[in-house]
Chain A
């Protein structure tokens, strides 16, 4: 237990001293998570709305594909993205391998299916009477889209929080595509894996504490949003 308590004490000291290496990993995590989440939301919200709202040939197949993407192991995503971004790969000339934007590409592939799937489910489960109600008040197609998304706002925020939780805690893609380069692409999760392997238990714990605080906040948020989004008692008017 001494080993553990000593590590914990050192970890708190590192955090209080604003240790540059520790906070470099926190900064890299924040950057890559923000970028991947922004792209996931930008693409995922309209795609999720389209998947949930419209009827079109192949909709079932599209839904199956998104659900399949949800279950892909992260190392496989990392492997595929690595193969595309490596110097010999089709996107090698973009020079994205072992960079924050490159990691964001991989993590977007992790977050995007979550946003699409949860948004589609949220739109599908909005009151079936909503469309006629909004249209009868004079909405055009765009206003209908915005009103539907607005009605599903808590469920979509839940999707964003869920995707954030997955992206921020991911290690396989970050390791393979980012390369775990100190001061650059070393994130909290990859740093924990590295430091623990090197016997630097205190640094690992310090970063683990940051990650656990983030996870706690995200889970509280998810719990709150889940309660709001499950309010289904819409009044028949």
Chain B
């Protein structure tokens, strides 16, 4: 049996400079199995985004141990954090597009990895989120609505086919049709490739329908499950 993708033990994380560190997340124990879907529910400011940033290696644990694919994520591992971030990709609430075309935005992560970005691959990723490559590919970032930009950002992560996809309120601010595209695209990532998904959302019904587990997060702590 393979190791869980994530294991957290006694982890605390937070923000601020050395003189004024503020812990906003306390996780005594959390295991996320490979290929599972974990839902996170909680109020704004409850710590969901901080947990996702921790899982996406954009934030390091101040206290405790975190393992990824059986390996300890310590200061030495985080010095080459980009190698971890290439395996676990985050779509944050604050994610933005680069000042370039839609096609270049979707291809950006592949180029960071030194990989080719053939048109078919980009078209497939955009198609997953309901955007037509011929129409949207050449468009500039500034020609997109907020909802379209959100879907392009998701396509830019789906095209990377990461082991773990971490999504912070991926359907926030989208209309009903766009929400449908995003939800289908996200689930396809697990069905087609067995990706591990961690999703925070206020859409509890959706999370309960698709996730293996839904955890309640409140004041930086996991307080229960649905």
On A, residues with C-beta under 8 Å from B are: 127, 129-130, 132-141, 143, 147, 150-151, 231, 233-237
Q: Is the CB of B58 within 8 A of A135?
A: yes
Q: Is the CB of B95 within 8 A of A235?
A: no
**A127 and B160 contact, Cβ closer than 8 Å, known pairs A135-B85, A136-B58, A138-B112:** no
For B207, what are the chain A residues with a Cβ–Cβ distance below 8 Å?
Answer: none
For A233, what are the chain B residues with a Cβ–Cβ distance below 8 Å?
Answer: 142
How far apart sit A234 and B146, CA to CA, in the bound complex (Å)?
10
How far apart sit A222 and B150, CA to CA, in the bound complex (Å)?
33
Q: How far is the CB of A197 from chain B (nearest CB, A)?
A: 50
Q: Is the CB of A132 within 8 A of B85?
A: no
Query: How many interface contacts (CB-CB < 8 Å) are there between A and B?
Result: 88
Q: Is the CB of B146 within 8 A of A235?
A: yes
For B146, what are the chain A residues with a Cβ–Cβ distance below 8 Å?
Answer: 235-236
Query: Besides A129-B95, A231-B99, 14 other CB < 8 A contacts?
Result: A129-B96, A134-B98, A135-B81, A136-B95, A137-B108, A137-B156, A137-B160, A138-B85, A138-B160, A151-B99, A234-B97, A235-B142, A235-B145, A236-B95
For A236, what are the chain B residues with a Cβ–Cβ distance below 8 Å?
Answer: 94-96, 146, 149-150
For B108, what are the chain A residues with a Cβ–Cβ distance below 8 Å?
Answer: 137
28 A-B pairs within 8 Å (CB atoms) are namely A132-B92, A132-B94, A132-B95, A133-B92, A135-B82, A135-B85, A136-B56, A136-B58, A137-B89, A137-B112, A138-B85, A138-B86, A138-B89, A138-B109, A138-B113, A231-B142, A233-B142, A234-B96, A234-B97, A235-B96, A235-B97, A235-B142, A235-B146, A236-B95, A236-B146, A236-B149, A236-B150, A237-B97
What is the chain B residue whose CB lies nearest that of A234?
B96
Q: Is the CB of B109 within 8 A of A237?
A: no
Interface centre among A133, A137, A150, A151 (most CB of B within 10 A): A137
**A136 and B85 contact, Cβ closer than 8 Å, known pairs A233-B142, A236-B146, A237-B149:** yes
Chain B, range 87-113, C-beta contacts under 8 Å to A: 89-92, 94-99, 108-109, 112-113
Q: How far is the CB of B80 from chain A (nearest CB, A)?
A: 8
Interface centre among B94, B96, B97, B141 (most CB of A within 10 A): B96
For B91, what are the chain A residues with a Cβ–Cβ distance below 8 Å?
Answer: 136
How far apart sit A129 and B112, CA to CA, in the bound complex (Å)?
18
Q: How far is the CB of A158 from chain B (nearest CB, A)?
A: 15
Partner of B109, one of A127, A137, A151, A231: A137
Q: Is the CB of B82 within 8 A of A235?
A: no
For A129, what are the chain B residues with a Cβ–Cβ distance below 8 Å?
Answer: 92, 94-96
Partner of B92, one of A136, A138, A150, A235: A136
For B94, what are the chain A residues with a Cβ–Cβ distance below 8 Å?
Answer: 129, 132-133, 236
What is the chain A residue whose CB lies nearest that of B141?
A235
Q: How far is the CB of A12 from chain B (nearest CB, A)?
A: 44
Q: How far is the CB of A146 from chain B (nearest CB, A)?
A: 10
- Pairs A-B, 8 closest by C-beta atoms: A237-B153, A235-B149, A138-B86, A137-B109, A140-B82, A237-B149, A129-B94, A136-B90
